[in-house]
Structure 1
Amino acid sequence: MYKLIFADDEALVRNNVARLLQWETCGFTLAGCCSNGYELVEQVKRDPPDLVIADINMPFINGIEAAREIRQEFPQVKIAFLTGHDDFDYARQAIDLHVMKYILKPVTSESLTEILREIRAEIDEEYRRAGNFKYLSAFYQENRAVVQSLFLNGLLSGTVTDQEAKEKMGMLELNCLDASVFQTAVILPDPMPPDCGFSQESPEMALFAIYNMGKELMETRDVGMAVLGGKDVTLVACGRSGAPYLDRAFTSCLEELRAVVEKHLHFTVTIGKGAPCRRCSEICHSHEGSLAALGYRESIGRNRVISIQDIEPKRQDFKVYCRAEEERLVAAIKLADSEQVEALLGELSSTLLEPAGPVQQRFCTFSILLSLLREADTLGLNTDEILSESDLKEVFAMRVAPEMLELIRKTCRSMMKSVQLSRKKSCSAAMDQARQIIAEHLTDPELSADFVSDTLHLSASYFRALFKKEIGATFVNYLTEMRMEKAKDLILTSGKKNYEIAEETGYADPHYFSYCFKKYYGMSPNEFRESIHT
């Protein structure tokens, strides 16, 4: 059963709908009936339904305004309009709000029953498609190549951890990554002759042709896979028989690909080959080596395979904290999650610091500290304070991994402290500004959470959540409280009439002001005046 709230200002319509309609046979339960837009918005906020049917022409807050407010906070709630106004502009606004139905009055119980069944069928279909594994599986298969490409480019850039690679390789049908040694090569087209068939204005077509040839060759030889980038093509070789064997097999593939491209596509390519590595998370280092090898193509020559191991035989790929691991650590620091930070530091120690020699340990420690300080600066934290507790010069005097790990730990703790202090100050300042804006615009009937959040340059959803957390009340309730307090004060200290007080407290409709006042204080403004003098 779906939950429904019905809103109409005509008591007869509400009573007939509640009494005559067989809600269960339509697939709905009636959660409530409201007489105006204000009541509707309040009830939706208390207990969000699946569907709202609202009359457009209601007092205080009309149906369109109420729907707009509901749509902002509860986009999953379906909305249908019921109105006697056959007006195109109303219909257009309803379409802008993605309203499901536009129902013209008068409406009979039979026609409303039929409409509700249609709406239920639409909602059923939406849920069915969202939860239909066969449909999702087909959609995934259609787009799997895109997901694979994103994942593989993440491997090349160092944003994928070993654990993530292990979890996703099966799902993405990249089982070749279940290997013990990896190696990459980057293929870059050389300047193309005019008669090659590929114009200089369409390099993407040439890249795609190289990608297709490389993919077919790697898969046929069962060596690995191809990845299409923005300006080049990367081949990733994967094997289980050791680095020397993989390097020979991979080099053979690269030389064949180079020759095939020249023969069939009538232009040449230069290929940079990186060093082998042992883990998925280290593929990015091999990729860096491939790019470094391509940097020698001007001096060594084009149309050849250039191996970084031949050019820089003593090149060492220092183990560094990959971006994915760095992002996880920074996220834990931002959340002030001490346990998660400690767990990540434990992984760092066991995988990077302890296995490495003193020079690599210092390099890794220094790299992590610089990354953390860069992030601290991006967040606007006081880096001088952080540096005072984590002097980078200490790294060069350290000789054992535990000392270096402790320095990183101190930096993380200092950052967590700074983040919490900065966030507290920022939230406090934002809420002080919000209170001031509300006080300055209290007489404006258009004052809303959206207006205040726009003024503060915050998203409306974040502002509402922050406001409730910091102030202890929703924006609407706080605004109502401020207006009611001012209204009470005006009644106590002035002889102003109700419509004048309504204007000074931001209510365009005096009747709506009286309605809100009575709901808040339990008596109308006039009854409140009388109670003062008795």
Structure 2
Amino acid sequence: MGLYKIMIVDDEEEIRLGVIKKINWEEHGFVVVGDAENGKEALEMAEKLHPDVIMTDIKMPFMDGLELGKKIVDLMPSTKIIIFSGSDDLEYAHQAIKINVIEYVLKPINSIELVEVLKRLREKLDKEYDDKRNMEILKKHFLESIPVIREQFLIGALEGRITKEQWEEDEKKLGLDFISNYICVAVINIDGLPIEQDSGLVSISIKNMVDETMGNYCDFISFPYIDKIVVLSSFFEKDNIIKVIKGLDEICKVFECVFGSTISIGLGRVSNDISAIRLSYNTAQSALSYRPILGNGKTIYIDDVEPDNSIQLQFDEQDEIKFLNSIKLSNEEDIKEAVEDIFIKIEDSFVALERYRIYLMEVLTAMLKLTQSHNIDIKSIFGENFNFYTYLEQFNSIGEIKGWFIEKSLSLNEIIKKERVNSSKILVEKAKEYIKNNYKDFEISVEKLCSNLHVSPTYFSTIFKKETDMSFVNYLTNVRLEEALKLLNTTDDKTYIIATKVGYQEANYFSYVFKKKFGISPSRYRKN
């Protein structure tokens, strides 16, 4: 570990510099990266320097050490605070404990005592960093949390939120690398239980039965989802689905023997593509809907009750997210690639013409929803009296349709980009107007402004800095000081009156900020 960064804060320059010179900091594992004479200045400095430790006096003008400590805890919770004070007042000590101050040192500061403080502090920091770097601890925590992470990952796959790429990246570390050539999802439904039975405990029992039984028939994993148990099975040959059905039927029999009631199992379509887990899950749910016809207490395989339309052309949630994100956020090349991906599916599928039309209508519907969500006039993209079904008849090839989608996607992208730039400028202009009307408010803050504008502080700060080349605080300070200059030039108001008129409660702090900006105090500026 390198040297830990430390800041010294005290309004008395002699004490501040004395502390810096007294200690051989590097020898004890530290480097002084900055010093400040008040809490406000220290806070601004800390946001830039990100020190590991701040040593601060309690009593200072503009912002005392305790208030500085509170703000640092909020902004940089890992930064350690050391308080030094000329008072052994228990109330100070009590407040210091509340903000997790790690050392409370009484003035006058004794270099021997300070060295001991630094030794303890270094040991503490070393241990914290060692713990963070300790891969065994991290590995242990990860392994303990794997079952929960895996379950959430599998649920994400059922809901169509996990891409094939994500699965391939994470399957090994989540223990899902047992998946072989084919997959299939089964959904176990409790048909009914006596009142005295706890459904939660029964679900656990069903999962245990699955885990004890299915290993004899296939590779699998089971997990609870909503009010059912889901079984994801995998096997090498497609015909092995017969074994899976036998295993599931065995579970139905065991359950009826143990509980005197029935469970039914819906078995979805088999696929050789991991991204089809959602489709297999949905068709397993469809299989369960045949219970009123076929009866409870058995496994219902979707291919037994519905014709196999698995060579389906589907514009699923992941496809939609990828496509719309490219329109909203990407460049021309990425948009063309996203449209190409959509049409690769068409070219690889051999389905009826009507299925192509439905698929393209789903793609178009996603574009229309995006257009509406940005309040863009649909006519400006698609023209007057647009009817896509009629429009399709005009095209002579898939290539022409693809070209049309690329053209409309690029038009939509251009309008959204302009809208984003315009909305950013409008937001910044509103912020400037707010500051202009409220700079006299002592309590004006970025949070207060953002509450008024109905945006998040993080988003606002990014946009404001990008548009104005300065932070909210710097801009507000400039506005206040420009107003102060006007008042100094055009009125006989005292400095403390001008301070309050431009939003500073303390005349001393106003003078400090003014001098820092212009290199001269307000009173001297007026004389000159």
Using the size of structure 1 for normalisation, the TM-score is 0.90
1:519 to 502, 516, 519: 516
Paired position in structure 2 for 1:374 = 369
SS of equivalent to 1:228? strand
Q: Say if 2:366 is the partner of 1:365.
A: no
Closer, same or farther: CA 350–6 of 1 in aligned 2, 3 Å: same
Q: Say if 2:49 is the partner of 1:50.
A: no
Pairwise CA distance, 1:220: 4.1
Paired position in structure 1 for 2:207 = 211
Pairwise CA distance, 1:519: 1.1
In structure 1, distance between residues paired with 2:399 and 2:80: 57
SS of equivalent to 2:178? helix
In structure 1, distance between residues paired with 2:415 and 2:88: 59
Paired position in structure 1 for 2:133 = 131
Pairwise CA distance, 1:91: 5.5
Deviations 1:26-66 (A, max 9, x none): 21101122111232123223333222222232112223443
CA contact (8 A) 1:5 1:53 kept: yes
- Greater shift, 181-190 or 87-96, is seen at 87-96
Q: Which amino acid aligns with 2:436?
A: A
SS of equivalent to 1:458? coil
Paired position in structure 1 for 2:248 = 254
CA contact (8 A) 1:336 1:420 kept: no
- Greater shift, 261-270 or 77-86, is seen at 77-86
CA contact (8 A) 1:431 1:470 kept: yes
In structure 1, distance between residues paired with 2:73 and 2:399: 54
CA contact (8 A) 1:38 1:66 kept: yes
Alignment map for 1:393-472 (pairs within 5 Å) = 393=389, 396-397=392-393, 398=395, 400-472=397-469
In structure 1, distance between residues paired with 2:516 and 2:289: 75
1:277 to 257, 271, 275: 271
Deviations 1:375-433 (A, max 9, x none): 44445555554444986336643564333433433343233223323322322222222
In structure 1, distance between residues paired with 2:387 and 2:52: 57
In structure 1, distance between residues paired with 2:80 and 2:503: 30
Q: Which amino acid aligns with 2:124?
A: E
Structure 2 unaligned segments of length 5 or more: list them.
Answer: none
In structure 2, distance between residues paired with 1:128 and 1:275: 50
Q: Which amino acid aligns with 1:249?
A: K
Closer, same or farther: CA 372–3 of 1 in aligned 2, 3 Å: same
Q: Which amino acid aligns with 1:219?
A: G
Alignment map for 1:494-513 (pairs within 5 Å) = 494-513=491-510
Deviations 1:348-390 (A, max 9, x none): 3334544343443333222222234334444555555444498
In structure 1, distance between residues paired with 2:448 and 2:88: 31
Paired position in structure 2 for 1:229 = 225
Q: Which amino acid aligns with 1:18?
A: I
Pairwise CA distance, 1:294: 1.1
CA contact (8 A) 2:218 2:243 kept: no
In structure 2, distance between residues paired with 1:186 and 1:379: 39
In structure 2, distance between residues paired with 1:301 and 1:316: 25
Pairwise CA distance, 1:93: 5.6
CA contact (8 A) 1:281 1:322 kept: no
Pairwise CA distance, 1:119: 2.6
Q: Which amino acid aligns with 1:486?
A: E
Alignment map for 1:104-183 (pairs within 5 Å) = 104-177=106-179, 179-183=180-184
In structure 2, distance between residues paired with 1:383 and 1:73: 45
Pairwise CA distance, 1:19: 0.9
In structure 2, distance between residues paired with 1:478 and 1:104: 39
Q: Which amino acid aligns with 2:358?
A: F
- Greater shift, 296-305 or 360-369, is seen at 360-369
CA contact (8 A) 1:6 1:33 kept: yes
Q: Give identity over the alignment, percent.
A: 29
CA contact (8 A) 1:190 1:269 kept: yes
SS of equivalent to 2:433? helix
In structure 1, distance between residues paired with 2:59 and 2:388: 67
Deviations 1:86-115 (A, max 9, x none): 566655665565544444444422222222
Q: Say if 2:299 is the partner of 1:297.
A: no
CA contact (8 A) 1:218 1:226 kept: no
Paired position in structure 2 for 1:60 = 62
Deviations 1:430-485 (A, max 9, x none): 22221122122211222222221222232222222221112211111111111110
2:27 to 25, 28, 38: 25
2:304 to 310, 320, 330: 310
CA contact (8 A) 2:311 2:350 kept: no
- Greater shift, 343-352 or 223-232, is seen at 343-352
Paired position in structure 1 for 2:328 = 334
Closer, same or farther: CA 331–251 of 1 in aligned 2, 3 Å: same
Deviations 1:123-150 (A, max 9, x none): 3233222222211111111010011111
Equivalenced residues, count: 523
In structure 2, distance between residues paired with 1:125 and 1:69: 25
In structure 2, distance between residues paired with 1:381 and 1:293: 42
Pairwise CA distance, 1:325: 3.5
SS of equivalent to 2:184? strand
Closer, same or farther: CA 68–232 of 1 in aligned 2, 3 Å: same
Q: Say if 2:192 is the partner of 1:198.
A: no
SS of equivalent to 1:176? coil
Q: Say if 2:480 is the partner of 1:483.
A: yes
Q: Which amino acid aligns with 1:29?
A: V
Q: Which amino acid aligns with 1:215?
A: D
Closer, same or farther: CA 317–295 of 1 in aligned 2, 3 Å: farther
CA contact (8 A) 1:362 1:404 kept: no
Please provide the CA RMSD for this pair: 2.6
Paired position in structure 2 for 1:355 = 349
CA contact (8 A) 2:217 2:244 kept: no
- Greater shift, 106-115 or 152-161, is seen at 106-115
SS of equivalent to 1:183? strand
